[in-house]
Structure 1
């Protein structure tokens, strides 16, 4: 039996963010066992906490979707760090936690109850020239697209800027026309005066599995790496996500000394033992 937690990330209200399953003390589990359990939980991601192999790291994490292992993902990073800390572990530096994952070392800073991770470098960036293919996938017109960028920091994202938050909320993708795109994120500005500057949605194509992710740290990280330097977003802003799914995700983005930080709250939902 191993200790197990399920948390809700990017929210301060349980069941309004993005759920994450976390297995503590996962040393000794095989890749096949991890993949099978992640498939069984049927959550967007399941993580497994392990001793670090890099002396600069406080812990190591492996991140699985229901069908594959990811080198990095945002809400699993914040959720895993929260679980590791609340389990009583002490980081080497009291002001931060250093996570080791497939993408390398990721720094997670502590800001009161909120944690934030430093956005990893993009594996693929730059503009997407074929707006027609994106428009087909999103069931919109090329004129609806204000801009598009590769935003891949692990999961394979491409980010599409629409003209308004209302356009984002109205999008109904045609997953059968995603083609090469494994994940498309759409973002659009809200009118001034609300608690969020942008609305974000994340559409995922994993073979025969098509779904919308409730709240997505990796996508918001790479969107901020595009929008802030381009002057489209301010150096500090809040993104809303999950609205269409009945969630109230809030992702806090900021640029500090040229580095993008992605923050959010995490709420503990379930603790117990798992037969692994």
Structure 2
């Protein structure tokens, strides 16, 4: 059976400098095994499959797979899937707003502006255990004096989050040779000097049997923004740079909208066609 397929680039206005996403637009009828197998084959951070919604308020349903497992929510797959669905002729029930159904519930995406932006899902904020903080600092060769704040953030994925002294300290973090007995995703944030092209620098480093740095992580940026809001520190829009250390040019546009936090970014459709499997 032929299925429509799109490969897009998310969170950068420069093609191939963002985070790549594979989107199967006709995912109905595929087994979990087939979806996982195809995600392994694409070998991208995530591959999504669009399906008819089960929620009457949703425009479509999405399932999100990494090369090893299914995710309940992820940021760049949310924006990439939404814009791929619109590109393929999808029409939202409410003009200017797409409602995506995924495992964490309905995600609202504003498509009325310059770039799409989703409403960040609720984030649980907890203290980061002192032992885990210490091991993260040692694994990334961070000077403990550079750690300003830390937290455990959960919005589907679980993030061990550290706010560092500045963007330079974020970019200097080095996980070479690090390993943990279980998978741990460590997020870093540090401010750029005033007047810089981006306001903050973000990194997401996944450490287990090896080290993987994600190019641009919408769900982490969403969790950080919700944490800033809970801290009373999200009073104006800001732009987060991510992927700098690995040659990407990610830009995540964060803005408060009443009680909501909006996470936006550019999406470029790079490949479209059909596939058979």
- Fold in common (TM above 0.5): yes
Gaps of 5+ in 1: none
Matches within 5 A, 1:197-212: 197-205=199-207, 207-208=208-209, 210-212=211-213
Deviations 1:39-91 (A, max 9, x none): 11110000000000000000000000000000000000000000001111110
The corresponding residue for 2:126 is: 126
Displacement of 1:141 after TM fit? 3.1
Displacement of 1:179 after TM fit? 4.7
The corresponding residue for 1:4 is: 5
Q: Match of 1:201, SS?
A: strand
Q: Comparing 220-229 with 11-20, which one deviates more in the overlay? A: 220-229
Displacement of 1:140 after TM fit? 1.7
TM-score by length of structure 1 reads 0.95
Confirm whether residue 16 of structure 1 aligns to residue 20 of structure 2: no
The corresponding residue for 2:142 is: 140
Asked whether the equivalents of residues 228 and 235 of structure 1 are also in contact (C-alpha less than 8 Å), the reply is: no
Asked whether the equivalents of residues 179 and 209 of structure 2 are also in contact (C-alpha less than 8 Å), the reply is: no
Seen in structure 2, the aligned counterparts of structure 1 residues 253 and 178 have a Cα distance that, compared at 3 Å, is farther
CA distance in 2, matches of 1:258, 1:195: 27
Q: Match of 1:19, SS?
A: strand
Matches within 5 A, 1:25-104: 25-104=26-105
Deviations 1:8-47 (A, max 9, x none): 0011111110000000111000000000000111100000
2:165 aligned residue (163, 166, 180): 163
CA distance in 2, matches of 1:182, 1:127: 16
Deviations 1:187-206 (A, max 9, x none): 1000000121100011123x
The corresponding residue for 1:172 is: 174
In angstroms, what is the RMSD of aligned CA positions? 1.5
Asked whether the equivalents of residues 179 and 210 of structure 2 are also in contact (C-alpha less than 8 Å), the reply is: no
The list of structure 1 runs, each at least 4 consecutive aligned residues, that deviate by more than 6 angstroms after superposition, is none
The corresponding residue for 1:149 is: 151
Q: Comparing 78-87 with 111-120, which one deviates more in the overlay? A: 111-120
CA distance in 2, matches of 1:102, 1:70: 8
CA distance in 2, matches of 1:193, 1:88: 40
Displacement of 1:235 after TM fit? 2.6
- What number of residue pairs does the alignment pair up? 274
Q: Match of 1:121, SS?
A: coil
Q: Match of 2:108, SS?
A: strand
CA distance in 2, matches of 1:151, 1:195: 27
TM-score by length of structure 2 reads 0.94
